[in-house]
Amino acid sequence: MRFKAIFSNSFGILISRVTGLLRDILMTSALGASVWSDVFLMAFKFPNLFRRIFAEGSFTQSFMPSYVASKQKGVFAVAIFLRFMLIIVAFSLLVTMFPSFFTKLLAWDWGDDLISKTAPLTVINFWYLDLIFIVTFLGTLLQHKEHFFTTAFSTVWLNIAMIACLMYYAKSSPETIVYALSFSILVGGVLQVLTHLYTVHKKGLCKVLIGGWKYKKEKNVKEEESKFKKLFIPSVIGNSTAQIASFIDTSLASFLVAGSVSYLFYANRVFQLPFAIIALAITTALFPAISKAIKNGNENLAFANLGKAFWLLSLLLGFSVLGGMFLAEPIVWLLFERGNFTSADTRNTSIVLMMYMAGLVPFGLAKLFSLYLYAMHKHLKAAKIAVVSLVVNLIFSLLLMKPMGASGLALAGSIGGMVQLALTVREVGMIRFWGIVKSAKSLYFVVGMVVLAVLLYRVNDLLMGYIR
């Protein structure tokens, strides 16, 4: 297993997430869990939804196997970039012309006053999608060279831009703060693009892109483009379900008490820290190696990497789940309870966090085993599994939102993750899965989890006595 790649990716993500938490701490201090925080988060949710659907997971997981197999890599890369860039710019212009309509799609229960406040912010925030697609495209080329740190680290620039904005406008009105934050997001996006362009130049990839542009009319890559398109649509479906679920949760939360959107957001930010540092870092670093192994017909090597990653993921994510479950309230208190974020907000957010943490291991392992499906070009299978998990998520969201509020929406997402893991493992192969699990490591894992749970239970008692 490529520990150097995993470490560099994880370290970059760690720095990014830590600065992201600092950003969120300053944001909660400035805006709290208020109407203006809901307005900003709703506006930022829209480009984030499409960023994660089109510009990140689905693009990388369909582009990487096609790029690895391509005989004209430069021409193929340039052709795909131009097509996507044209579509995304056109979509951004459409949102700019009809902002209220698109904002209403996110929060259909909001009145005209809230929609009018959110719509201008939606326009500003949406142009971040254009910048982040460039970042994703260049980042995927760097991943093929097994360079991960630049992409993992680059979000730091976004966080720094937002942190600087929050510090400068700390004493301004909430309306001024959310507008300034929206423009700072674009500044951060530009810095991310510049960082990737510098690294692409250092890695000698500019020659590939320049050559691809020079020969784009002379080299025929229509067959490769056609194969990519067949992979991309199922990949969009497969990777978009988690984002659609989050989108639905945000929309359903708008029917609940004020602050519910913010409870979900802040709890999810904590949940995303171990998920990104551990699950995303490991799976992102493994994907190029697994794709190359499958292309070379070495399936045993691919599964050997999956087996090693399984136990590393299970151990690290298992520890994270117990920590998040037992120490939810102290964690939220430490990170967010200051300024306009009250003790009641802390309690509500901590309950939501516990419900999210129940799905951390399933989501992480499902992400791992889906690598095999994507490397084998089984994007359609992965898409079907993701759709089933989304339907399960939606059903439980509707069932649980009334009795449990925002925490019910978070729990519904975790249940959907469990279903996704079960179906993904079945598709990869139960025999291979049991071959990984049937090991003395299973006993060590269970014993370790029990011991840690007892220790954390005692630590939580001590911390809660100090907090309250």
Spatial CA neighbour of 383 closest among 252, 226, 230 = 230
Compute the radius of gyration of the chain from its Cα atoms. Answer: 22
**Angle ∠(17,22,23) on CA atoms, nearest 5:** 90
Could you tell me the pLDDT band of residue 396, with boundaries at 50, 70 and 90? very high
Give, in order, the Cα–Cα distances in Å from 135 to each of 65, 149, 156, 463.
Answer: 19, 13, 13, 42
Distance CA 273, CA 408 (A): 21
At 216 the pLDDT is 62
Could you tell me the pLDDT band of residue 465, with boundaries at 50, 70 and 90? low
Q: How high is the mean pLDDT of the chain? A: 81
In this predicted structure, the answer to whether residue 365 has a pLDDT above a threshold of 70 is yes
Distance CA 92, CA 72 (A): 30
Give, in order, the Cα–Cα distances in Å from 185 to each of 28, 172, 180, 197, 270.
Answer: 17, 18, 9, 19, 20
Burial (0-12, 13-18, 19+ Cβ within 10 Å), 418 = middle
Distance CA 362, CA 18 (A): 24
CB atoms within 10 A of CB 97: 10
Distance CA 348, CA 467 (A): 16
In this predicted structure, the answer to whether residue 195 has a pLDDT above a threshold of 90 is yes
Could you tell me the pLDDT band of residue 49, with boundaries at 50, 70 and 90? low
For the ranges 87-96, 248-257, 366-375, 408-417, the lowest mean pLDDT is seen at 248-257
pLDDT tens-digit readout, 398-457: 999 888 888 899 999 999 999 999 999 898 888 878 877 777 777 777 887 788 777 877
Cβ contacts of 58-61, under 8 Å, gap ≥ 24: 58/232, 58/235, 58/236, 58/238, 58/239, 58/240, 59/84, 59/133, 59/136, 59/137, 59/140, 59/232, 59/235, 60/136, 60/139, 60/140, 60/143, 60/287, 61/235, 61/238, 61/239, 61/287, 61/374, 61/379
DSSP 279: I
Residue 375 DSSP SS3: helix
pTM over 0.85: no
Task: At 158, give phi and psi (nearest 5°).
Answer: -60, -45
